[in-house]
Amino acid sequence: MRVCTVCQEPVPSGMPVCPRDGGAAEEPGDEIIGTMIGEYRVKGVIGEGGMGQVYEGLQPVIGKRVAIKLLRRELATDKVEAARLLGEARSVNAIGHRGIIDIFSFGALPDGRQYFVMEHLSGVSLSQHIRMHGALPVEDTLKLLDEMLAALGAAHGAGVIHRDFKPSNIFLVAQPDGSSFVKLLDFGIAKIAPYARGETPQTRVSRVMGTPEFMAPEQARGQPVGPRTDLYALGVVAFAMLTGEHLFDADNPYEIVNMHLSKAPRVPSSVRSEVPPEVDSLVLSLLEKDPQDRPPSAEAVREQLKRLRKALHFNATRLALAPTSMTRESLGVVPSAPPPPAPSAPKKALADSATRHSPSSLGPDKATRILNAPRATPPQGGSVDSSAPQLEQLAPSERRAMRVGGAVLFLFAGLLVTGLWVLLRKPPAPEPVPVEVVEAVVVAPAVPQPQVVEPRPEIDPRDTAAVDAVRAEVARSETARTEAARLEAELADAARAEAAKVAAAKAEAAKAAAAKAEAARIEAARAEAAKVAAAKADAPKADPLQARYKRIQGAWAKSRASRSPEDRRIFDVMLSEVGKQLTGGSRAEATESLNDFVAGALNGKEP
């Protein structure tokens, strides 16, 4: 069966291109591609592993994309591998968590190969992300670890131990807003403990399950595994995220396993210096050789991680918001002897000096000493003596600090005044909103505008003529209002009737378009059926005499061994002569020879 290279749908035999999109018809490299597995059309291969292949599937009616994990053909009769595939589906459905891949269908192909259908994910695995971008930022690492711990906690709560927790089984699902979240994959070698968060023995003592780079010591020894086994693998994954390297690396897997058993782990900060010591301690607690020395559960690690993230965020915020004014000790200023008195200077020099030295930038003792110092009395000539020892004793670094402190105080005062002005000012009158004039669909008589009545002077009740005039004017106003209401009602009725006509016209147009599309589809189907019928008519018809010769050949092959050597030689020659007659001789002679052969070689029994 050939499939279209564009839509991956089957192409009818005898047609060189796809009748749907014109794509070339080619034989698929994988016989599964283009076929139906359950209700899903197989579109292509997503990945491949030791147990089987993962294909992309599409529900042809609603367009839902799925992933289909299919057991390898050579493992179809292996009861252990088939049980592992079923166990993976059961393990995942026993958890039911957002951070665990969802499996929602299970079945088997006619040849016995089992499969299950799971959700299709968009994104990259953690191993691909580390390979492309290297080590992750510390904050991103802690965020992903929290999501992984949530998923592992749900799995352990359901009694499921992953046993193969590694970056390639951690998928970063892409979100429309650019963010991502974690999903754990491949529970193919997961074990179900007899009770939640309990330990369970491994399947075979002689067969260690897992990946050497991420294997806990007890798992490598074939001892019972539990939630702490997955937490050890989580520590190895955390090290890889923080450093971009494996915790242990060697030329063969046996050396790596031996390192997990006996070698002390490296701290992440030994590879990447910006990793905080608190993060080092968390990772090392997960990498303890003895399971009893590790945290008791994923929930306990999440609580520790929550406190750690809060502390790191507080420290980073405090560092970023540290004040710019410092004390003399923090600035490294060493007190020195006061300089000799300087000659007198203008007032501006003293003002500049006072501005540069804000009390907020000095230590409390220094500020008090300067503020309480006696003020110099200017001489009668009007000049100010700038030789005040309290200010001139300040070092240049102190002056800079006071200048910065003064600027900060000035800025704060400006912000305070601005805020008070914003709170106390009278809000401006709202601007008139422009009204868009929409042209009416229905043309109707214009509604008369109400007349503006000018204020009239008071009317003397005894003036009957004036009273009658007012009564007549009021009557005319009432008539005008009644007429306006009537016209407005007529306008609304006309608008509703016109809207109903437009809706009916749109419905008719939609029906016509649907009928036209259906007619085109039927016509295309008829053309396709005609092509298929023509292809079948042009196909060469089977020769009944040739078919009979083939059947007799098969029957002779089965009974030949029971005949004597002489009979075999004679009847082999006869059958060979019949074949020659079929290809180049008379059909009548061939028919007669076949009858003779059946009578002699097959004892007259027509196969």
DSSP per-residue letters across 135-171: SPPHHHHHHHHHHHHHHHHHHHHTTEE-S---GGGEE
Burial class (CB in 10 A: 0-12, 13-18, 19+), 269: middle
Domains of the chain: which residue ranges?
Answer: 32-119, 123-318, 475-519, 544-601
| Residue 47: closest CA among 105, 101, 111, 112 | 101
Secondary-structure class of domain 32-119 per CATH: alpha beta
Question: Which is it for strands 52-58 and 65-71: parallel, antiparallel or unpaired?
Answer: antiparallel
CA dist., res. 130 & res. 166, Å (int): 12
CA dist., res. 82 & res. 145, Å (int): 32
Backbone angles phi, psi at 475, to 5 degrees: -65, -40
Close Cβ partners of 376 (under 8 Å, ≥ 6 residues apart)? 384, 385, 387, 388
Task: Provide the 3-class DSSP secondary structure of residue 182.
Answer: strand
Say which residue the tokens 């390898």 belong to. 72
- Taking the mean position of all CA atoms in its chain, how far away is CA 134? 20
Task: Judge whether 164 counts as a catalytic residue.
Answer: yes
State the amino acid at position 188 in one-letter form.
G
- Taking the mean position of all CA atoms in its chain, how far away is CA 280? 29
Which one from 30, 164, 460, 567 is the annotated catalytic residue? Answer: 164
Question: Which is it for strands 170-174 and 114-119: parallel, antiparallel or unpaired?
Answer: unpaired
| Res 324: pLDDT | 37
CA dist., res. 578 & res. 595, Å (int): 10
User: Helices 126-133 and 227-243 meet at what angle, rounded to 10?
Assistant: 20
Residues across the chain = 607
CA dist., res. 224 & res. 564, Å (int): 67
| Residue 166: closest CA among 152, 150, 180, 178 | 152
Quote the Cα angle for 248-250-255, to 5°.
90
Strand boundaries in 141-296, DSSP class E: 160-161, 170-174, 180-184, 191-192
CA dist., res. 471 & res. 469, Å (int): 5
Cα 279 to Cα 142, 149, 230, 269: the distances in Å are 9, 15, 19, 9
| Res 29: pLDDT | 59
8 Å CB contact between 433 and 374? no
Cα 536 to Cα 14, 17, 32, 64, 531: the distances in Å are 9, 17, 26, 35, 9
Tokens of 300: 């306990």
Close Cβ partners of 304 (under 8 Å, ≥ 6 residues apart)? 282, 295
Backbone angles phi, psi at 170, to 5 degrees: -115, 115
State the amino acid at position 402 in one-letter form.
M
Tokens of 76: 């179809």
CA dist., res. 87 & res. 209, Å (int): 15
Give the H/E segment covering residue 372: none
Give the H/E segment covering residue 58: strand 52-58
| Res 264: pLDDT | 95
CA dist., res. 138 & res. 122, Å (int): 24
Domain 123-318 sits in CATH at 1.10.510.10
Close Cβ partners of 90 (under 8 Å, ≥ 6 residues apart)? 192
Say which residue the tokens 């590879």 belong to. 271
| Res 429: pLDDT | 46
CA dist., res. 258 & res. 558, Å (int): 61
| Res 444: pLDDT | 43
CA dist., res. 208 & res. 189, Å (int): 11
Provide the 10 A C-beta neighbour count for residue 162: 28
8-state DSSP, 112: S
| Residue 228: closest CA among 304, 161, 170, 278 | 161
Widest pairwise Cα distance in the chain: 155
| Res 339: pLDDT | 43
CA dist., res. 298 & res. 313, Å (int): 22
Low-confidence stretches of the chain (pLDDT < 50) are 194-196, 200-207, 318-395, 429-448, 450, 452-453
| Res 203: pLDDT | 41
CA dist., res. 102 & res. 66, Å (int): 10
CA dist., res. 510 & res. 268, Å (int): 65
CA dist., res. 446 & res. 428, Å (int): 38
Strand boundaries in 477-601, DSSP class E: none
Say which residue the tokens 């180049």 belong to. 584
Q: Please say whether the dihedral angle defined by the alpha carbons of residues 125, 127, 130 and 131, taken in this order, is positive or negative.
A: negative
Provide the 10 A C-beta neighbour count for residue 467: 13
8 Å CB contact between 167 and 127? yes
Q: Evaluate whether 32-119 and 123-318 have a shared fold.
A: no
Beta bridge partners of 4: 25
The four Cα atoms 268, 273, 278, 279 give a dihedral, to 10 degrees, of -40
| Res 532: pLDDT | 85
